[in-house]
Amino acid sequence: MTERATDDRQDGPSADVIVLGSGLAGLTTALALAPLRVLLVTKTPTLYGGSSLLAQGGIAACVAEDDSPAEHAADTVVAGAGLCDAEVAAGVTEEGPEAVGFLERHGVVFDCDATGRLLLGMEGAHGRHRILHAGGDAAGRHLMAALAKAVQDAEHITVHDSTMAVDLALGEGPLRGLWAVGPDAVCRLFRSPAVVLAPGGSGALWPATSNPPEATADGLAMAARQGALLADLEFAQFHPTTLLTGPAAAGRLPLLSEALRGAGALLVDGDGHRFMLDEHPLAELAPRDVVARAVWRRRQRGEDIRLDLRPALAKRGADGFPQAVAACRAAGFDPFAETVPVTPALHYHMGGVLTDAQGRSSLPGLWACGEVATTGLHGANRLASNSLLEAVVFGRRVAEDILSSERRDALESSLPAPELAPPGCAGPCLELQSALRAVMGQALGVERAAPELDAVIAELQVLQDRLPAPGQESGDAAEIRTWLETRNMLLAARLVAQAALRREESRGAHFRRDYPMTRESWSRHISLTLSDLTASNEGPPLYAAG
Ligand code: SIN
């Protein structure tokens, strides 16, 4: 057990900029901030973690002669179902080739054919082959390995891994940095006038997800506690084809990339019927929400829905999809000889911290990029493989904006350290997390409706009330992290549920059984702040005024 300091502060390191998170967005931002001094804070034990690492699809960018940024932007806007910011979509797709160049300069090698031409894949709702891969479906691993090495070699970046962010240090004055707990379980103030949130998404809120367990909505909750504007929280994208590794499989399920369907893999029901032909002219390559609902509804009726990888494997070979083949084999399936069972699982949260086109949040001194941010690119439904592109483009934009802003020094401060998890709280917190995932699965899955949403909002409040109260003493680092993650998940879940209840229509990834049509009057964003949780007992952030 760690005796928490009762004095008014434990000073940590200081720098020009703090970047929270070590996915593609965080690493890109940190690299692009040179020569400013950067503290890169991440809760994972190495730089080799997070959702980016698991990305299979690759990065969408218009690099083919027969393609154009305008076409890529148009596909993005159609997928976004009326809620994309057309200017952001135009800008990001225009910057696609430059983003690819940035990655190549940092050591990423994209897959080419025998003549040296880039191999470009196809995915759902793209009008052209424009997805660059690296190592077949191991794109995330290849990108992250290259960027992690570049970060380790960069003199301007100091990495603090195994370090869990607690809260933004924001008192009455300007932002002073970030409270974070290191492996020694001590909460320190990491001081900087500029903080970039890039800690990833929220997949761990759902019972089945393609995300890693660390996707606990930390950035969303931290920004919310300080009153930042959040938007589009109701839009959570379900990937139609994760591998059902067992009859009651839950938690992180292996992704079977849409690139497989782009290369010919087929969805079939128990009779071997290719049911997507009945659902949409684009069949297996229909927009992701359409495919996810088609699979989900059949599974609800007890049907065994399967993906036949064989046409894709025949075309690209096992080398084209090493991760999919390995995942199938690990689960006891031979994808060369049989179809494999699939289910939709939470894949990407379009909602998050609202930013402008430079990645600035509504709080001065706070930027956001990557999955935690809502930049306007994805709207109600992200186009496949646009998120790695967004991570690089916005990571660089954020860095550029900070580099061109007036420089301020980190403020000396005398802020009281936040209170943390009481000893012995890990067990109760893990139970709360399981209960939270169960209610999210019931009410905030592929289809939603008011009665379930009302019930889940009440239930989440009950769970919130059961969160162990912070105390004068705290447990070890793992226990503190579990408590902080639980607190973040509870807050994020309550905000997501509120937004989903408010949007009385179906659009993009948000399908309301009680409002199955898209309504013109809802062609607008829902933005929320902490104060919108009217029945909240969240109270002020752990660190309030300083
Ligand atoms: C996939 O590989 O199917 C996922 C790609 C993405 O979500 O962008």
CATH code (residue 269): 3.90.700.10
* Ligand 1 centroid – CA 99 distance (Å): 18
Mean pLDDT, rounded, for 428-454: 97
- Which of 325, 345, 365 finishes a domain? 345
Q: Would you state the structure tokens that stand for residue 166, as one six-digit string?
A: 């607690």
* Ligand 1 centroid – CA 287 distance (Å): 12
For position 349, what pLDDT does the model report?
98
For position 471, what pLDDT does the model report?
80
Give a yes or no: residue 201 inside a domain.
Answer: no
Mean pLDDT, rounded, for 198-226: 97
358, pLDDT greater than 70: yes
For position 535, what pLDDT does the model report?
44
In tens, the pLDDT along 472-496 reads: 778 899 999 999 999 999 999 999 9
543, pLDDT greater than 50: no
For position 4, what pLDDT does the model report?
41
> Would the CB of 307 count as within 6 Å of ligand 1?
no
* CA pair distance 252, 258, nearest whole angstrom: 17
* Ligand 1 centroid – CA 254 distance (Å): 12
> Would the CB of 258 count as within 6 Å of ligand 1?
yes
* Ligand 1 centroid – CA 56 distance (Å): 6
Is the peptide bond preceding residue 35 cis, with omega within 30 degrees of 0?
Answer: yes
Using pLDDT thresholds of 50, 70 and 90, give the confidence band for residue 421.
confident
- Which of 322, 345, 368 finishes a domain? 345
Using pLDDT thresholds of 50, 70 and 90, give the confidence band for residue 186.
very high
Q: Where are the beta strands (DSSP E) in 413-536?
A: 527-528
Inter-axis angle of helices 477-502 and 426-443, nearest 10: 20
Q: Measured from the CA of 241, which atom of ligand 1 is nearest?
A: 3
Q: Would you state the structure tokens that stand for residue 493, as one six-digit string?
A: 């879940």
DSSP 8-class letter at 445 = S
> Would the CB of 509 count as within 6 Å of ligand 1?
no
As a whole number, the mean pLDDT across the chain is: 92
541, pLDDT greater than 50: no
> Would the CB of 57 count as within 6 Å of ligand 1?
yes
Using pLDDT thresholds of 50, 70 and 90, give the confidence band for residue 413.
low
For position 248, what pLDDT does the model report?
77
* Ligand 1 centroid – CA 357 distance (Å): 24
- Ligand 1, atom 5, residue with closest C-alpha: 57
The structure tokens 């297996």 sit at 284
Q: Would you state the structure tokens that stand for residue 484, as one six-digit string?
A: 């902080």
Q: Which domain holds residue 269?
A: 240-345
Give a yes or no: residue 360 inside a domain.
Answer: no
> Would the CB of 259 count as within 6 Å of ligand 1?
yes
Q: Measured from the CA of 348, which atom of ligand 1 is nearest?
A: 7
Mean pLDDT, rounded, for 27-46: 98
For position 411, what pLDDT does the model report?
64
Q: Are residues 425 and 530 in the same domain?
A: yes
When divided into structural domains, the chain yields a total of 2
Pick the more confident residue, 229 or 411: 229
Q: Are residues 335 and 249 in the same domain?
A: yes
165: left (phi over 0), alpha (psi -120 to 50) or beta: beta
9, pLDDT greater than 70: no
Pick the more confident residue, 531 or 410: 531
In tens, the pLDDT along 292-316 reads: 999 999 999 999 999 999 999 999 8
In tens, the pLDDT along 214-262 reads: 999 999 999 999 999 999 999 999 999 999 998 778 889 999 999 899 9
Give a yes or no: residue 391 inside a domain.
Answer: no
Mean pLDDT, rounded, for 124-151: 94
Q: Are residues 432 and 532 in the same domain?
A: yes
Evaluated on CA atoms 8, 13, 16, 17, the torsion sign reads negative
Give a yes or no: residue 367 inside a domain.
Answer: no
Pick the more confident residue, 140 or 411: 140
**For residues 541, 543, 544 and 545, what is the CA-based torsion angle, rounded to 10 degrees?**
-160
Mean pLDDT, rounded, for 111-131: 92
* CA pair distance 191, 12, nearest whole angstrom: 7
For position 420, what pLDDT does the model report?
86
Which residue numbers are catalytic?
A: 288
- In the sheet that 195-197 helps form, which strands lie side by side, from edge to edge? 157-160, 38-41, 17-20, 195-197, 366-368
> Would the CB of 28 count as within 6 Å of ligand 1?
no
For position 247, what pLDDT does the model report?
77
Nearest to 472 by CA among 7, 3, 123, 73: 3
* CA pair distance 99, 114, nearest whole angstrom: 24
Q: Are residues 432 and 538 in the same domain?
A: yes
36-58 CB burial, b ≥16 within 10 A, e <16: bbbbbbbbbeebebbbbbbbbbb
For position 402, what pLDDT does the model report?
97
> Would the CB of 122 count as within 6 Å of ligand 1?
no
Pick the more confident residue, 319 or 173: 319
In tens, the pLDDT along 42-88 reads: 999 999 888 999 988 899 999 999 999 999 999 999 999 999 999 99
Using pLDDT thresholds of 50, 70 and 90, give the confidence band for residue 436.
very high
For position 419, what pLDDT does the model report?
83
414, pLDDT greater than 90: no
Q: Which of 347, 371, 387, 392 to mutate to test the pocket of ligand 1 (most atoms within 8 A of CB)?
A: 347
Q: What is the CATH number of the domain that holds 467?
A: 1.20.58.100
- Which of 313, 345, 377 finishes a domain? 345
